Structure formats: structure tokens, C-alpha cells
């Protein structure tokens, strides 16, 4: 959809204006007419004009409400109209209206969603297509919401596990900066003693403070350049894959990401199979949920083996020998005809293992950071008090 600005007249005869996103003038006129505004003129928006994205949580709630309306027997067009009227986000209202216009013209719902949301996940589109084939559109929308909620829960677990250590680490850095950049230079100016007459610990603390003060502008510039470089790399898929492969080789981080990728892949494949997507079509779609990581090449090899006629469990055992839990559950599920349930159980197991690893890390890091902060504070305070004791010794 293209962004545009408009001006019009409301029911009271007053001139109003605003900016929005619309695919064609007719959709804009109909959207404004629902609000009682007569369109006078539309024109290109300024550079800084835009609509805020409602976010993944708002989209998840919208999908769940749409599933409930369809399950209650509401027609698709009327359900989309009701959701657009109830939405609190202007951009989401326009996106839902765009979907409704496309559906009323005969466009399939997966294509209409993909056109309205440019970032619409291919996995979600496949789930919608499967729901269209089987006639269970409410179930497909509920599965999309469940799959998206599982991703959000995984991200939330990682952030919660890293939040407290990050806060303690930031507090430790702030305390060190205050001691070394504020307190120590003032002490050096007050003490008035030659450096060679000071204790070794005091000289070391003073030298550290001076080095940090000298190198602080350069370190700040390097940090800003690194942040800018990371932001630029995030927009480049080849560099992002290279950085991901380098970080995957780190001992603890690589294993943690491996479990996270396995949880996403198993959960996505389970949802696709549960929705009725054939295995050969579901495998490349599920691979996108773990794309860019250490699973990319093994999963491509898995697809080749399955296409060649090899059983899924055997191909998985050869492609991912380290994923023993997924291999065992896949073997049981394939033999019993419940592969989707087995993969869903494997995804839950890997998710729980990931959460346990993050909790153990937080449990170890928290006291270590507190002890480190206390030791550094004690050393700095001792270094500042030693010259005072040294000067006061001859007086006694």
C-alpha cells in the first residue's frame, strides 16, 4: 500500500486532513466515508509522515478475534469490516480494509493478507492456504495466532532471563565510571603527593583512571561506530548470516541458539502438518523459521533425503544427529501416524531446555556481577585510603 495525505470535510462542515496508507483512491474514499468525511484532495505525504505499526501483539489479537467471528458464523467480509471498525490503530484499520476490498474482489485470503502486510510470514500464508483448502479458516487463523504467540513467548523468555544480569552489569559499569572518572581524579588533586611516594595499589588505580579518561572519547567513537555497523549489518542478509555463523561457534551461545532454532523449527513444522500441509511442502516453509543459523544446511540436506524417498525419522537422524530428542519423538510419531503431535512435544521440550539454560545463566551471573562490583569498589576505596594511612603514620 502507498502512503498519501488527504484533506476533506466532516459532517459538521469543517475541513479536516490526515495521512494514511491506501492501495487506490476508491479504498481511501470508502474508508473516509465510513468516518463521515467527504474527500476533497489527496496528495503525496512529506518525508517524515508515516503511520506507526501496531506491532505483533496487536496483529495476534486481531487474528484471534477474526477466528472467533468466523467460527460464530459471520461472513468473512463482515468480520473484516467489524475488526477494522474496532481497531485502535489507524494503520491496522487501513490494512484490514484493504484485505476486505481484496476479498470482495475475489482475491484469495492468503494473497490479500500478504498484500496488506508486506512482512506477512510465508509460514502463516501456508497455514492460511491450508485452511482455505480444508475449509477450516477459523482453525487456520487460530493456528497462526498460536504459532506467533509461541515465538513471542520464546523471545520474552530470553529477554526476561537476560534482563536482570543486564541491569546489574549496567549498574556495575556506572559505579566504576563514577569512581574512576569522578572520585579518583579529585582525590589525586587533593592528596598533593608525588606519584612515586604513593602505594602500588593507589598508583595502579590512578593510572587506570587516567587511561580511561584519555581513551574515553576514542572508546565512545568506536562504540558508536560498532552500533552503526551492527544496524547496517542487520539490513544486509549475507552479512547477517555470516555474523550468525560466527556467533554460533561460541561455546555457550552456539548451543543456546541451536536449541532456540530447533524449538522454532519443530513447532512450525508441527503447525504446518496439523493444518494439513503435505510434508514435502511443509519442510521448506519450516526451514525459514530457522533460516540463517546452524540448522540451515542440515535442514536442506533433510529435504533432499525426504524427497529421495527416505523416511522422515531416518533422514532427520542423519541430518541432525545431535537432536536426539527430536529424532526419537519423530520416529515414534511417524510410526503411529501422529508426527505433528510428536514434533510439537519436541518443540516444547527444546523450549523448556532453552529456558532452563537461560535461568541457570542468570542464576550464575547475578551473584558474580554483584561480587565483582563489590571487589572493584573495595579495591578503589582501599587505594584511596592507603595514602591517608601512610601520611598519618609518622604523625602518630
- Encode pLDDT of 76-114 as tens digits: 888 888 888 887 777 788 788 888 888 888 888 888 887
Judged against a pLDDT cut of 50, whether residue 52 lies above it is answered with: no
Angle, helices 90-104 vs 109-116, to 10°: value is 150
What is the average per-residue pLDDT within 223-250?
Answer: 71
How high is the pLDDT of residue 46? 52
CATH number for the domain running over 57-149: 1.20.81.30
Here the cell at position 201 is 595499589
Confidence check: pLDDT of 248 > 70: no
Structure confidence at residue 126 (pLDDT): 76
* Average pLDDT for the chain: 78
> Phi/psi zone of residue 7: left (φ > 0), alpha (ψ -120 to 50 degrees), beta?
beta
Of 172 and 71, more confident:
71
pTM, two decimals, is 0.63
Q: What is the pLDDT of residue 49?
A: 43
pLDDT at 396: 45
Distance from C-alpha of 371 to C-alpha of 118, rounded to nearest angstrom: 48
Average pLDDT over residues 169-196: 73
What's the chain's length in residues? 396
pLDDT tens digit sequence for 283-293: 887 887 676 66
Enumerate helices (H) and strands (E) in the chain, giving the number of each.
Answer: 16, 3
Helix (H) or strand (E) run with residue 166 in it: helix 137-178
Closest CA to 256 of 148, 351, 189: 351
- Are 273 and 291 in contact by the 8 Å Cβ rule? The answer is no
Using the predicted structure, report yes or no on whether residue 294 has a pLDDT greater than 80: no
- Say what the pLDDT of residue 48 is: 42
CATH topology of domain 175-396: Receptor-associated Protein (1.20.81)
d(CA 312, CA 339): 10
Amino acid at each position: 500500500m502507498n502512503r498519501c495525505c488527504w484533506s476533506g470535510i466532516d459532517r459538521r462542515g469543517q475541513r479536516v486532513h490526515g495521512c494514511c496508507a491506501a492501495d487506490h483512491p476508491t479504498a481511501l474514499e470508502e474508508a473516509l466515508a465510513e468516518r463521515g468525511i467527504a474527500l476533497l484532495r489527496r496528495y503525496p505525504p512529506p518525508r517524515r509522515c508515516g503511520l506507526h505499526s501496531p506491532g505483533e501483539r496487536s496483529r495476534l489479537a486481531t487474528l484471534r478475534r477474526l477466528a472467533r467471528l468466523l467460527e460464530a458464523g459471520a461472513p468473512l467480509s463482515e468480520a473484516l469490516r467489524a475488526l477494522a471498525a474496532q481497531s485502535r490503530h489507524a494503520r491496522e484499520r487501513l490494512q484490514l480494509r484493504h484485505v476486505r476490498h481484496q476479498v470482495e474482489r475475489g482475491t484469495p485470503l492468503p494473497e490479500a493478507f500478504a498484500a496488506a502486510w508486506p512482512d506477512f510470514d510465508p509460514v502463516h500464508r501456508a497455514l492460511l492456504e491450508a485452511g482455505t483448502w480444508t475449509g477450516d479458516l477459523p482453525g487456520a487463523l487460530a493456528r497462526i495466532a498460536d504459532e506467533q504467540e509461541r515465538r513471542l513467548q520464546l523471545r520474552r523468555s530470553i529477554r526476561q532471563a537476560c534482563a536482570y544480569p543486564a541491569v546489574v552489569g549496567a549498574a556495575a559499569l556506572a559505579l566504576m565510571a563514577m569512581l574512576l572518572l569522578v572520585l579518583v581524579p579529585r582525590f589525586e588533586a587533593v592528596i598533593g603527593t608525588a606519584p612515586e611516594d604513593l602505594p602500588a595499589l593507589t598508583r595502579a588505580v590512578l593510572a587506570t583512571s587516567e587511561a580511561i579518561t584519555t581513551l574515553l572519547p576514542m572508546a565512545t567513537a568506536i562504540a558508536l561506530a560498532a552500533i552503526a555497523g551492527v544496524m547496517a549489518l542487520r539490513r544486509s542478509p549475507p552479512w547477517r548470516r555470516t555474523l550468525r555463523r560466527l556467533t554460533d561457534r561460541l561455546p555457550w551461545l552456539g548451543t543456546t541458539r541451536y536449541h532456540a532454532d530447533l524449538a522454532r523449527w519443530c513447532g512450525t513444522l508441527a503447525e504446518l502438518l496439523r493444518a494439513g500441509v503435505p510434508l514435502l511442502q511443509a519442510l521448506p516453509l519450516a526451514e525459514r523459521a530457522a533460516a540463517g543459523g546452524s540448522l540451515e544446511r542440515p535442514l536442506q540436506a533433510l529435504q533432499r533425503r525426504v524427497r529421495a524417498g527416505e523416511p522422515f525419522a531416518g533422514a532427520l537422524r542423519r541430518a541432525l544427529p545431535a537432536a536426539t530428542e527430536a529424532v526419537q519423538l519423530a520416529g515414534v510419531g511417524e510410526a503411529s501416524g501422529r508426527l505433528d503431535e510428536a514434533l510439537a512435544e519436541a518443540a516444547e521440550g527444546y523450549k523448556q531446555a532453552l529456558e532452563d539454560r537461560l535461568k541457570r545463566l542468570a542464576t550464575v551471573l547475578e551473584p558474580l556481577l554483584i561480587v565483582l562490583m563489590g571487589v572493584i569498589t573495595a579495591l578503589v576505596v582501599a587505594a584511596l585510603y592507603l595514602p591517608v594511612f601512610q601520611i598519618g603514620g609518622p604523625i602518630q
